[in-house]
Homo-oligomer: A and B are copies of this chain.
Amino acid sequence: MSDKVLLDYGSGGRASQRLISELFLKHLGNDELNRLNDAAELTLSGKVAMSTDSFVVDPIFFPGGNIGSLAVHGTVNDVAMMGAIPRHITCAYILEEGLPMDDLEKIVTSMGQAAREAGVTVVSGDTKVVPKGAVDKIFINTTGIGDIIVDPVPSGDAAQVGDAVLLSGTLGDHGLTILGTREGLDFEAKVESDCASLNHLLVKLVRELPEVHVLRDPTRGGLATTMNEITLSSNVCCELVEKELPIRAEVQGGCSILGLDPLYLANEGKFLCILPQAHAEKALEIMRADPLGHGACQIGSITDANPGKVVLITKLGGKRLLNMLEGEQLPRIC
């Protein structure tokens, strides 16, 4: 194969076949994918969760991951937030003519590794190659499916007055990393993306505590936007305690320099768990026992004070409304 992606790798003809067998099947192959049918044949439990996401992050390589690992983690997490065990994902690539094959191989290698770690198989794929300039390097869509193991399913409209709001770890790491890398900033302290598949921890959590009302990962728009979506859907108020919000000093510092608010920055390896206050301690114990949740803490609670609103109780004891993200802080963050 050429050392760059050529147009005819997406033709559906012989060159496509070569790319599929020598690159994609090598890193992502399994019995189902290897059959190369138009669709995969799967056996599922009956009640399933399905989610799709396209990834357009810029740059495609960044500290802590790349567009390939992110594409697996992101979709695995969205499926897992439904109280489901992610089983299978599909991967569709849009490649720019001239993309270095080494870059593509690094990305696909990461996807294979991330999929194995998350326990999902890649069951169907697609590759398009577009002429130089019609896309910026590489975009990836992943769509995931998994078996739902709880009833009722955790849902954004299920938060209730009296619930605790828990967060699995620090805020803003992914967003700041992407912006820092893009702008070529050299932070004094190391900042890297938190991107990770949370499914093993989430499955443990919902198995032990089916009382969980909401699971959600605060990606685009960050904690503030995600909490606003939840309070709107559930018609409740969320009171967040500023001094409890876990933010690394280096992330806070980077945000101050750049004029960003970490509460609006994307996270790719964190989740919010909202459940009755009586179960909060148990949930935190389960989360902290996992490396991906060791920084878990309670950051607030659900009240009936201002339905549909998110209120921040500041370090000085004042209150201020946290709105949804307005405008685009950061395009191409995921």
Contacts and interface: CB of A to CB of B under 8 A. Distances in A.
Interface of A: 6-8, 10-17, 35-54, 56, 58, 77-79, 81-82, 84, 88, 90-94, 123-126, 128-131, 133-136, 139, 141, 143-145, 148, 153, 155-157, 216-217, 219-221, 225, 229, 233, 264, 266, 323-329, 331-332
A39 B81 contact: yes
Nearest to A77: B38
B52 A42 contact: no
A12 B88 contact: no
Contact of A52 (B125, B129, B134, B326): B125
A51 B39 contact: yes
Contacts of A156: 35-38
10 contacts: A7-B331, A10-B220, A14-B325, A15-B328, A37-B81, A37-B82, A46-B46, A128-B332, A135-B135, A145-B145
Given A38-B216, A134-B332, A135-B134, A51 B82 contact: no
A130 B134 CA distance: 12
A331 B143 CA distance: 25
A69 to B, nearest CB: 18
A81 B143 CA distance: 20
A50 B39 contact: yes
A73 to B, nearest CB: 13
Contacts of A126: 52-54
Nearest to A137: B134
B56 A90 contact: no
Contact of A78 (B16, B39, B77, B329): B39
B129 A331 contact: yes
A213 to B, nearest CB: 13
A84 B328 contact: no
A153 B41 contact: yes
A252 to B, nearest CB: 22
A298 to B, nearest CB: 22
A134 B131 contact: no
B49 A12 contact: no
Given A13-B221, A38-B216, A324-B14, A50 B90 contact: yes
A328 B50 contact: no
Nearest to A7: B328
Given A12-B221, A128-B56, A221-B13, A50 B324 contact: no
Q: Which 8 A-B pairs have the closest CB atoms?
A: A12-B220, A13-B325, A39-B51, A12-B221, A52-B90, A143-B143, A8-B328, A141-B141
